[in-house]
Structure formats: structure tokens, C-alpha cells
Amino acid sequence: MKALLSHDLPRSRALALALILIVFALAFAPFLFPGAKALAVASKVLVFVLLVASYDLLLGYTGIVSFAHTMFFGIGAYGVAIASDRMGGGWAAVGVGVLAALAISLVLSFVIGLFSLRVKAIFFAMITLAVAAAFQTLVSQLHAFTGGEDGLSFRNPEWLSPSFEPFENEIFGVLLDGKLLTYWLIFASVTVLFLLLLRIVNSPFGRVLQAIRENDFRAEAIGYRTVVYRTVASVLGALFATLAGSLLALSLRYVGPDTALSFEVMLDILLIVVIGGMGTMYGAVIGAVLFVVAQNYLQDLLALGAQAVAGVPVLSALVAPERWLLWLGILFVLSVYYFPSGVVGKLRAWALRGNK
């Protein structure tokens, strides 16, 4: 187990238990939480675990603030969508789309990293924001290729199609079909890629990235080419984000500017990183689960609360379902106030104090 986790153990019993429960719940989500919405939420959690972990490689481990992460996320999603739309639903189309998206992300991230990481952090952030905004505008205008604002709908390979049902009988009360196979493909892919990211940040390369984050002048002084390491980290983060976008496309069978390229997605990534804890891959898991579940079910909880306090003038207005963004914002502020180092950081600090 230590080798599987690259010797980066949770270092907290509460965190270890939470991670075990999350992995178990996600692995058996179709059986534990039946229904289309629950499966969609679980798929989104998995995609955001990989997406946020890839961004934490930049922000938490290297100290790079980039607003172009959703651009690479969108490139992965659109790569699969465009290839599937032009070539028809099939594994060849998915493979071509993923490889083409990875190639484009590799070139773009290398160019951006090579020419922009030499400037100060704030200027690099502004450059990436401008590039991401320009790319989103370009995608919206290339209607013939991307579907414009309407996006693209496409067919998955036959085994991943909702109509594919290999067995006539239900298994533990659930009928196995293409949607479930798609979900488990996403689960397996995210698990492997997350463990790979965990290995990267715990390798000598990852240690250098952390040294650059703490003091880039000192890292440069002892012989490390910080621009090279920052550029490689930027490329790796972009490639993993591209793969996350490809998995999102397979899950939704649709890609549009709002689903993969909007600035709201970038804000969600930043919020999840802060909630889970920067500089720890486990924070991506905890943060993604908390944020995505709250984002999708807080409205339902408020609807139940509104029924309970119906007739109370002020309280009924505050817990109205349309106020869910207000309560989500309050939960975020409280989490930052009480967990300044993120949930993972707080749990590890408690465990450290308990061992003294």
C-alpha cells in the first residue's frame, strides 16, 4: 500500500478513513446510489478529482497561478467530441481525439510556459487569463467545427452507449448497461492517473518543484534551472487536465463552452483546491467530493428546509432553493475560516497534535 501511494500516506486516521469511504462509495456508486442524477454527480466528482489534482501540481506544488487550465480541459473534451462527430462513434475516434488533444495541449502549454514563465507571477496569470479568454471566443465562433455556443453532441463507442445491455438480468438490483461501463472506465482511468500524479509529486522532480515554490531564487542558486522545471510542470498539468476533459466528454456525450471552457469552471477548481488543501493530492479528492455534492444537492436540502419553515417570513426566504449560491458561499467562507490550510491540512495538524 505504501508503494502504491508513493509512500505519501494520509498521516491521519480520520483522513485515511474518509479516503477509504470515498473510494469505496465511488467504486460502487451505481449500486449504493441508484439513479441517473447520482451517477452523473459521481462521474463529475471523479473528473474533478483528476482536474483539480492536475491544477494542484501547478498551484500547490510549484506555486504557479494559471487561469488557462480550463482551456486544456476544454481541448480534451472537444478533441473527443469533434473526432467522434466527424468519424462516427467508435474507439478509433476516441483514440484519435485524445491523441490530437494531447498533442495540441502539449504544444500550447510548452509555448505558454516557455515564453510566459520568465515573467513575474501576476503577469503570467494575466497572460494565461487572456489566452484562455481568446480560446473560448475562438471556440464559440468556429461553429462548423465546435458547434459554437450550442456545443456538440456525439455517440460514444457501442460498449459505452446507454443502449448497450450485455445482460438481460439485473445485478444486485442494477441493470448493467453502457452508462455504467462508461462510469467504471472513468473510475479506473482517474484512479490510475491520480496515482501517477501522486508518484510525480513524491519523486525527486516533485521535490524540486516544492523547493521552487518555497524559494525559487535559492533553487536557482543551487543549480536547478527553474524555468525548465516550471515549464515541465506546466506541460504535465495541461496534459492531465486534457485527459480529464476527455473523460468528461465520454461521460456527458456532449461538449459546450459552458461545460468545459467557462470561467465558472476555473473558479470551481480554485475553490476546490482551497477547500481540500493546497500542496496535497488528497485535498483534490476531499475538496471535489465536498464541493460537487454540495453544488448538486444543496438545492434539494434547501427545498426540504423551505417546506419545514413555510410561513415564517424571513427564514422561509433565506432557505428558499434559489438561495443555494448564497449558502454555498457561506459554507466556503466558513471552511476557509476554520480550515485555512484546507480540510486535509487541518486533519493532519490534528493528528500531529494528538501524537505529541
Range with lowest mean pLDDT among 195-199, 234-238, 321-325, 344-348: 321-325
E strand spans, 62-151: none
Q: Each residue of 88-141: pLDDT tens digit?
A: 778 899 999 999 999 999 999 998 877 766 666 677 888 888 888 899 889 988
Task: Give CA–CA dist 176/120, Å, rounded.
Answer: 52
For cell 454540495, the residue is 294
Q: What is the pLDDT of residue 356?
A: 58
The DSSP symbol for 161 reads S
C-beta contacts of 132-141 below 8 A and 24+ residues apart: 132/67, 132/68, 132/70, 132/71, 132/261, 132/263, 132/266, 135/68, 135/71, 135/74, 135/261, 136/71, 136/74, 136/257, 136/261, 136/262, 139/74, 139/78, 139/257, 139/261, 140/257
Best CA proximity match to 197, nearest among 7, 50, 2: 50
Q: Is the pLDDT of residue 262 over 90?
A: no
In the chain, where the domains are located:
13-355
Task: Give CA–CA dist 211/228, Å, rounded.
Answer: 14
Cell numbers at 356, concatenated: 505529541
More confident residue, 186 or 35: 186
Q: What is the pLDDT of residue 247?
A: 96
Q: What is the pLDDT of residue 21?
A: 95
Report residue 240's pLDDT band, with 50, 70 and 90 as the boundaries: very high
Q: What is the pLDDT of residue 3?
A: 77
In degrees and rounded to multiples of 5, residue 287 shows phi and psi of -65, -40
Q: Region 213-241: what's the mean pLDDT?
A: 88
In degrees and rounded to multiples of 5, residue 117 shows phi and psi of -75, -5
Q: What is the pLDDT of residue 8?
A: 82
Check residue 256 and give left, alpha or beta (phi > 0: left; psi -120 to 50: alpha): beta
Provide the CATH number for the domain formed by 13-355 in this structure.
1.10.3470
In degrees and rounded to multiples of 5, residue 89 shows phi and psi of -70, 120
Q: What is the pLDDT of residue 118?
A: 67
User: Distances from the Cα of 112 to the Cαs of 67, 215, 263, in angstroms?
Assistant: 12, 22, 19
The percent of residues above 70 in pLDDT, for the chain, comes to 95
What distance, in Å, lies between the first and last C-alpha atoms of the chain? 25
Range with lowest mean pLDDT among 19-23, 89-93, 205-209, 269-273: 89-93
Choose the most confident range, by mean pLDDT, from 60-74, 185-199, 205-219: 185-199
How many CB atoms lie under 10 A from the CB of residue 270?
15
Q: What is the pLDDT of residue 317?
A: 72
| Chain Cα centroid distance, residue 175 | 28
The DSSP symbol for 157 reads P
Q: Region 37-57: what's the mean pLDDT?
A: 94
Computed over every residue of the chain, the mean pLDDT equals 87
Q: What is the pLDDT of residue 122?
A: 75
Q: What is the pLDDT of residue 119?
A: 66
Task: Give CA–CA dist 269/265, Å, rounded.
Answer: 6
Q: Each residue of 51-81: pLDDT tens digit?
A: 999 999 999 898 888 898 999 999 999 999 9
